[in-house]
Amino acid sequence: MIKLHDKYFKPFISAKEIDAAMQRMANDIADDIGDEIPVFVGILNGSFMVVSDFVKKYPKPCEVTFIKLASYEGVKSTEDIQRLIGLTQDLTGRTVVILEDIIDTGNTLAEVHRIFKNEEVKSLKIATLFYKPEAYKKDFKLHYIGIEIPNKFIVGYGLDYNGLGRNIPEVYQIKETQFMTNLVLFGPPGAGKGTQAEFLKDKYNLVHISTGDVFRFNIKNETALGMLAKSYMDKGALVPDQVTIDMLNAEVEKNSGAKGFIFDGFPRTNAQAEALDKLLESKDSSINAMVALEVDDEILVERLIGRGKTSGRADDADESIIRNRIKEYYDKTAILKDYYSAQNKYYGVDGVGSIEDITVRLSGVIDKL
Ligand code: 5GP
Ligand code: MG
């Protein structure tokens, strides 16, 4: 990830992919033009890198010139195109190929066509490295397109954000979600996870996603995913990860303005952790930390037996059941501890003490993220 001025950008198209697209364009154009000597016209500023790399790949003699137009302010295309440097040579009877870095709305291209309207060139072809089909509003034919991209702001390889980023050899895409704090909350039964999740949710303005609750909600409301999950559960089979991920995705999308999420009860396996990473990546985000409440087994047993006496929860009453649940927790989460430790994202927090003490310890971790 990189930061230019106030905005963050993530890697999008590698230098190698750009090189391959440029090579393809150079070959296609050379094949079409044959032995004639074309004039390549770059549109400054953005196309300087495209033109430079393109003509090095062009296998035959050619001429190069530039015109200079300006249209962009910040991250928005404007209607008002300024002609800063026009054509400085006579192109009558010549085969001209416009070399653009990017075609977005097509406003700049319209200005190029205006410039060439009165020039009696033999032919005028348009080549662009990047093209945003969803943004394009004109009818001018684009003869050569390197890479089609979605309608999101990019920088690098000649393209700038308010002056910066032109010198980067690869292309970065703007991060739409600029900042989220996403936590995976873990803790053995009796560690006080529920209590602490409530607190973190309020203090950091996060959305608490408990997989158990999400399942119950979807099944109760008979959503398509809920019914699908239920069909597995009724057969006594495990619900496939993809179904769970789809449900979580729906939750995340429902809360698209959130400052972040607390994932509770998920992931349970490496495959699920990877799936969660992918889900968040698609939202331009990631897991910042796995926070695990650490409590000694004997204290947990004591707490749960105490809770069983008042709550009447059958699984909280029997010591051997309790010990089994705790063991199962460690067996299952050890892998995840490794998964997140490998990315330096594992934070163990001492879960023994008063609720307030533990809260302070958790805040200490989150504030530093
Ligand atoms: P159009 O006139 O087609 O809307 O936009 C063309 C010009 O806008 C390009 O030459 C470029 O200067 C700028 N532009 C369009 N899209 C982007 C983008 O995603 N990133 C950057 N940095 N500039 C863009
Ligand atoms: Mg340009």
Instruction: Average the pLDDT over each of 65-79, 110-124, 180-194, 222-236 and give the range with the smallest value.
Output: 65-79
Ligand 1 pocket by C-beta < 6 Å: which residues?
46, 71-72, 77, 101-109, 153-155, 159-161
pTM: 0.63
Query: Tell me, what's the pLDDT at 212?
Result: 87
The tokens for 337 are 């501890």
Euclidean distance between CA atoms 143 and 131, whole angstroms: 12
- Under DSSP, the state recorded for 116 is H
Calculate the average pLDDT of the chain. 91
The tokens for 347 are 């934070």
pLDDT at 20 over 90: yes
Ligand nearest to the CA of 104: 1
| Protein residue whose Cα sits closest to atom 9 of ligand 1 | 102
The average pLDDT across 198-217 equals 92
Residues 181-368, CATH architecture = 3-Layer(aba) Sandwich (3.40)
The average pLDDT across 278-305 equals 91
On whether the 2-174 domain is CATH 3.30.360.10, my answer is: no
- Band (190; pLDDT cuts 50, 70, 90): confident
Query: Tell me, what's the pLDDT at 130?
Result: 98
Our answer to whether residue 361 is catalytic in this structure is no
CA of 297 from ligand 2 middle (Å) equals: 64
- Band (220; pLDDT cuts 50, 70, 90): very high
Our answer to whether residue 303 is catalytic in this structure is no
SS3 11: strand
Euclidean distance between CA atoms 336 and 40, whole angstroms: 55
pLDDT at 15 over 90: yes
Our answer to whether residue 166 is catalytic in this structure is no
Q: Is the dihedral of CA 359, 364, 368, 369 positive or negative?
A: negative
> Which of 157, 158, 131, 134 is closest to 142 using CA atoms?
131
Residues of the chain with CATH 3.40.50.300: 181-368
| Protein residue whose Cα sits closest to atom 20 of ligand 1 | 154
Give me the residues paired with residue 123 across strands: 95
Amino acid, res. 101 = D
SS3 325: helix
91 against 75, higher pLDDT: 91
Query: Tell me, what's the pLDDT at 78?
Result: 67
Query: Tell me, what's the pLDDT at 73?
Result: 65
Sequence-ordered list of residues with C-beta below 8 angstroms from that of 134, at least 6 positions apart, any chain: 150, 151
Ligand 1: which atom is nearest the Cα of residue 132?
16
Task: Report in angstroms the alpha-carbon separations of 155 from 53, 140, 144.
Answer: 17, 25, 21
Residues of the chain with CATH 3.40.50.2020: 2-174
Q: Is 236 annotated as a binding residue?
A: no
Q: Is 141 annotated as a binding residue?
A: no
Ligand nearest to the CA of 77: 1
